[in-house]
Amino acid sequence: MAGLKLERFSPRHTIRHRATTLALALIAAIWPATTAATAIAQEKPISQSWPYAAAMKKVACGFAGNPGVVLHVGDSITYANPYGQWARGGRGQSPQDKKALQWMHCGADDETDGWWLCRFDHPSGGRSHTAAGGIRLDAMLKGGTRGMLSLEKMLDKYSPQIVVLMLGSNDASAPRPRHDFQRDMSTAVQQILDHRAVCILSTIPPRAGRLQVTAAYNDAVRRLARQKKLPLIDFEREILMRRPHDWHGTLIGPDGTHPSASVQKNADEKITPSSRPSPQNLRASGYLLRGWLSVKKIAEVKRTVLDGLEIVDSRAVVVGGLVREQIAELCPLGDELLSKMLQSVGHCRLQTLRQAFGAVTPVRLATMPAGDSQRKGS
């Protein structure tokens, strides 16, 4: 046609056009997956409104037990196997999650592994080593329920570095007066802190037919956590934030007390306690929500409190970079007392050295196990 100029596409132009089209198609294909991954990464627990790191570092400075041992102390909600499923093999764990789980001996299935201790089916029936079905807070303090150790003896036996404490659901069944529950919870927390373990408190889930009682208990738990500057897992608020009106039958099972476990998402897929912690899944499985929250909080405590307070495994006491011989020169009590301390205790607490030596640089310290100083010539 006259006056009409037809543009001819070169082979190079055609290749470039096809490459662009292919790139756009690939972006369209991966966009939903990228969006989903971002949503998972952004899902975070509720931030507590008070700081706890400085207070817990003071507690942890005197720790002389088993590094990485984290006890989960509670009732049937802790004893239930689904509670630890996400920790043991859940999908969607971040590298930080995996590192923290390795630190807390998850999967060791022995007395260093708190996830194993709380789910172990004890021959006595109805309990594990650190949790029992139907147990109340006062009974945990006293001990003896189906041969259960008291909380204090439990702390003596396992020497944990962290304790996750959630009790009160069975107290609410009674119901026990709030001031009795509050008094016993304060006693339990103090026993944990006296053993130089970091105490992570947890609120209990809302309970059908007992909402006012569980709410009052949880207010007391929050006040205690704020007063003592403790880390808190606010399980009740995490549930109500996601399911303000329909928590019963979704995040809390049909019995109105225990978290839900597996939920049929569709004909081909089930949401379980080991599913990815996506926003949708965390609104469906109560045990997925609780297990994920516990891992996240323990990892946070490790990062903000414990990582700068590593135990020094050495033939000499180390205080502020000073070894034993240097301390002996500076300390009027001399090296003789230090030798006796090394021989008589497995680990020397900061408070003990402060009393012995006076003003010493307040940093983390440890000694060799008892007797090693003589065997190895320290």
What is this structure's pTM? 0.75
Of residues 144 and 346, which shows the higher confidence score? 144
Of residues 270 and 19, which shows the higher confidence score? 270
User: Domain 53-306 in CATH: superfamily?
Assistant: SGNH hydrolase (3.40.50.1110)
Cβ-based neighbours of 50, under 8 Å, separated by 6 or more = 225, 226, 229
Looking at residue 16, what is its pLDDT? 54
Closest-CA residue to 320 (of 364, 264, 375, 255): 364
CB neighbourhood size of 320 (10 A): 12
Which band of pLDDT confidence, cut at 50, 70 and 90, is reported for residue 50?
Answer: very high
The C-alpha R_g of the chain, in whole angstroms, comes to: 27
How is the chain split into domains, by residue range? 53-306, 324-375
Which band of pLDDT confidence, cut at 50, 70 and 90, is reported for residue 10?
Answer: low
d(CA 127, CA 147) in angstroms, rounded, equals 9
Question: Quick one: what percent of the chain has pLDDT higher than 70?
Answer: 71
229: left (phi over 0), alpha (psi -120 to 50) or beta: left
d(CA 30, CA 46) in angstroms, rounded, equals 30
Give the mean model confidence (pLDDT) for residues 240-265.
95
Closest-CA residue to 293 (of 230, 229, 237): 237
Which band of pLDDT confidence, cut at 50, 70 and 90, is reported for residue 266?
Answer: confident
Amino acid identity, position 112 = T
Q: What are phi and psi of 202, to 5 degrees?
A: -135, 135
In order of 203, 204, 208, 308, 353, the CA distances from 54 in angstroms are 22, 26, 38, 12, 21
Q: pLDDT of 187-209, one tens digit each?
A: 999 999 999 999 999 999 999 99
> Given strand 198-202, what is the order of strands in its sheet?
70-74, 162-166, 198-202, 232-233
Both structure tokens of 20: 């662009």
Of residues 250 and 308, which shows the higher confidence score? 250
Structural element, H or E, at residue 239: helix 235-242
Looking at residue 268, what is its pLDDT? 78
Q: Mean pLDDT over all residues of the chain?
A: 81
User: In this structure, are residues 184 and 151 in contact, taking their beta carbons and an 8 Å threshold?
Assistant: no
Cβ-based neighbours of 280, under 8 Å, separated by 6 or more = 271
> pLDDT at residue 66 above 90?
yes
Q: pLDDT of 67-88, one tens digit each?
A: 999 999 999 999 999 999 999 9
Cβ-based neighbours of 362, under 8 Å, separated by 6 or more = 61, 350, 354
Burial of 184 (0-12, 13-18, 19+ CB in 10 A): buried
Give the mean model confidence (pLDDT) for residues 252-267.
91
Cβ-based neighbours of 353, under 8 Å, separated by 6 or more = 317, 319, 341, 360, 365
d(CA 310, CA 366) in angstroms, rounded, equals 9
Give the mean model confidence (pLDDT) for residues 164-185.
97
